[in-house]
Amino acid sequence: MNDNGVGQDYIIVKALEDGVTIIGFTRGRDTRLHHTEKLDKGEVMLLQFTEYTSAIKIRGHAEIVHGYGSIYSESAGKREK
């Protein structure tokens, strides 16, 4: 992270099913949704925290790779109730 709070590391999201949704949330006094993307199976997106983006939400079955390792998100149909 640099002096203005903007991360220099990238997050890689690979969709493992159609319809994976990536949602970016704003920084500041009120956290708000500011951007969404949909990925189909096999598509890859590189993400980065910026002066405008403080959080990223991923919905659907995807592989998420970052500077600390990797993790898999589950699709809605596979979540435990």
Query: pTM for the whole thing?
Result: 0.78
Per-residue pLDDT of the chain (81 residues; tens, 9 = 90+): 445 545 567 899 999 999 999 998 888 787 788 889 999 999 999 998 888 888 899 999 999 999 899 999 998 766 554
Q: Measure Cα distances from 76 to 20, 59, 68, 71, 79 in Å.
A: 10, 8, 25, 16, 6
CATH class of the domain comprising 11-78: mainly beta
Rounded CA separation 48/27 (Å): 13
Domain chopping of the chain, boundaries? 11-78
